[in-house]
Chains A and B, each alone.
Chain A
Amino acid sequence: MLLFLEQLLNGLQFGVTLLLMASGLTLIFGIMNLINLAHGSLFMVGAYVGATAIAHGSGFFLGLLAGIAAAAITGMAMEFVIMRRLYRRDHLDQVLATFGLILFFNEMVSIIWGRQPVAMNTPDFLSGTVELIPGAPYPAFRLAVIVTGIVVTGLLYFLVMKTRIGMWIRAGASNREMIGALGVNISLLYTVLFGFGAALAGLAGVMAAPFSAVQSGMGENILILTFVVIVIGGIGSIRGAVAGALLIGLTDTLGRVYIPDLMRLWLPPSVADGAGASLASMMIYILMAVVLAFRPRGLFQTHG
């Protein structure tokens, strides 16, 4: 039981990281109708710059800010130089161009930082464990990730639902021509929005850096899952991103832990371990197929 609660927390923490990525991506996708495969690269930029700043003695919070700022600036530059040429092109062109950007960023990072992974440790004040559930000490840093994710999501919800910019964003998601006709500076809104999405990716990157390898290509694994999240949640929907991210986080974590155990009930252990591991890594795609079979536009569809 203790273990199950702990695994729930793990699933929640994974879901929250995905959520930071998915909310930025879904805003861009929903409003600008732009598929940005290079969103994972912004995650990587955040991690690299954050880790480098901290290695040079900036301290954790300044490093965090540096990572977020670097991702935001990179994102806005990317929008200004490349993305705005792609809005009117079809999705296939966007996929191709942003895929090219992934290769560009991976190579760029190898040139600047070298091919070997970069180090980043947890800040001292978060490096211990907290006994949230008695008998199951939980890493403090993972708790901090969960808290950050919840706070940021709360702010995002407030921004989108209660402010004027949020209103434009929501309006833009349902009818892009109309909001331009109403006098909103669309091109500025897009740049800012892109930077904002990039900042969220950068935040996720810095928060992930202490427990993962900061290396070229690190954004690609998470990018695939992020796309699964927004497809399940419904493209362009923040509520969908929240639901999708938590669903994927929990399914993936609990699947990895319990499916091999379940398989052992029927199969000899040597077969069950391999087959269970394979099935567990397919779980989220099976989940996606099931969701899409019943709700082809995702759990919370935005477009009519």
Chain B
Amino acid sequence: MSLKGKKAVLLGAAAAMMGSCIATFGAQAAEPVKIGLITTLSTGAGYLGDDTRKGFELAISEQGGKLGGADINLIVEDDGLKPETARQIATRMIESEHVDLMTGIVFSNVAMAVVPKVVRDGIIYVSTNAGPSLLAGAKCDANYFNAAYQNDNIHEAMGQYVQDQGYKKVYLLAPNYPAGKDAMSGFKRFYKGDIVDEVYTKLGQTDYAAEIASLRAAKPDAVFFFYPGGMGINFIKQYAQAGLKDEIPLFGPAFSADEHMVDAVGEAAEGMKNSSLWSPDMDNEASKKFVASYVAKYGAKPSQYSMQAYDAANLIGSAIAAVGGDMSKKDEFRTALKKADFTSVRGNFKFGNNNHPIQDFYIREVVADPDGGFTNKLVGKVFSDHVDAYASECKM
């Protein structure tokens, strides 16, 4: 008897035992659901994909190697932050590994190279992070679900907050690539005051001395910056070293202050406000349980990337349960995904017409953590049930 056969018998036996109480799961959980997770595990941004993988794997291990009652065969691959690599991996996953579902990409430029192809091939893709505007609007697709956000959302929340706080003159900085421009347009959609200057720097730049000197000379009331990962660490450190930390407050999206960055930057980030859809101290049962089990398993606090991957895995699990692990029921699976019948650690979560979340957005502040190091603390809510700006362009 083949290994698969043995597994099926075992599973069948297990299912039979459980069958009395959970009749719907029945005995068809034989074939494991194959999920392809492409993410960024190398380069300076490798820790983002590492967090994504950890969040996703945590959800699976919490359910004993399953999601929604079905065995999961998770295939993880590194895209090295290269769109063409990711595309090759996706092709292989679809054509020779026959995955049922794909997920995991961190960067929007990588997602744009992969997602349109994947959904065209009839595979469902659930995004754990990247949410480029095109996929939310004109190019939305029934096979594409975003379990994180639409890219502009988090910047929009900060635009609204800085507006509400009454800052009159704001200085903007972002890397010179599509997500940088999206960030700035998201911010400006809700901030109505003066933009003193809008500076685009080279992607991956490490030294910001020149930009900081110009910024100081421009005398803004506040600074909004979108620098994820290493770029942000460099910027925040250098900003504090220039003595500006206490003079001109810094505002950014959560990507400018994720848990690892805040730890690496330390005191220089203290007091910085950032916008997010979640915070590690969020006051709900699901979130507390998630943070505790993440810390227990990995010995570090989860970042927003881990949280989104964890939610995505549980969302997928809810749809797998709805079809009883039978991935051939594609239409039912899609309908079940759209229902989003799972407990999100961020609280409110539902899908809009374009399969993007309608959710709340919050402001966090970087504070000293009683357990040592620094962490994000929730300080307020900006948007409730926020819909992205592109939903109306989606014909679905």
Q: Chain B contact residues: over half helix, strand or loop, or mixed? A: helix
Contact B267 A121 (CB under 8 A): yes
Contact A106 B241 (CB under 8 A): no
Q: A117-B47, A122-B241 are known contacts. Are A274 and B200 too (CB-CB below 8 A)?
A: yes
Contact B263 A119 (CB under 8 A): yes
Q: How far is the CA of A59 from the CA of B55 in the complex (A)?
A: 36
B237 contacts across to A, CB distance below 8 A = 210-212
How many residues of B are in contact with the other chain, CB < 8 A? 43
Specify the chain B residue showing the minimal Cβ separation from A208. B206
A2, A122, A138, A277 interface centre (most CB from chain B within 10 Å): A277
A110 interface residue (CB < 8 Å to B): yes
Contact B206 A212 (CB under 8 A): yes
Taking CB atoms and an 8 Å cut-off, the chain B residues in 222-244 that contact chain A are: 229-231, 233-234, 237-238, 241-243
Specify the chain A residue showing the minimal Cβ separation from B181. A274
B20 interface residue (CB < 8 Å to A): no
B266 interface residue (CB < 8 Å to A): yes
A-B contacts at CB below 8 angstroms, number: 133
B181 contacts across to A, CB distance below 8 A = 274
Residue in B42, B243, B264 whose beta carbon sits within 8 Å of that of A137 in the complex: B243
- B173 CB to closest chain A CB (Å) equals 11
A128 contacts across to B, CB distance below 8 A = 243
Residue in A2, A7, A211 whose beta carbon sits within 8 Å of that of B210 in the complex: A7
Q: How far is the CA of A136 from the CA of B217 in the complex (A)?
A: 9
A253 contacts across to B, CB distance below 8 A = 209-210
Quick one: CB contact mask for B256-292 with A, threshold 8 Å, 1 for yes? 0000110111111000000000000000000000000
Quick one: CB contact mask for A209-238 with B, threshold 8 Å, 1 for yes? 011111111100110000000000000000
Q: How far is the CA of A216 from the CA of B42 in the complex (A)?
A: 8
Contact B200 A212 (CB under 8 A): no
Quick one: CB contact mask for A92-128 with B, threshold 8 Å, 1 for yes? 0000000000000010001000111111011000011
A175 interface residue (CB < 8 Å to B): no
A48 interface residue (CB < 8 Å to B): no
Q: A117-B47, A119-B265, A213-B234 are known contacts. Are A137 and B242 too (CB-CB below 8 A)?
A: yes
- Name 5 extra pairs, CB < 8 A, besides A141-B241, A277-B200, A277-B202: A115-B47, A115-B50, A117-B261, A221-B206, A277-B176
Enumerate the 6 nearest inter-chain pairs by beta-carbon distance, A residue then B residue, closest first: A213-B230, A213-B233, A10-B209, A115-B47, A277-B200, A116-B260
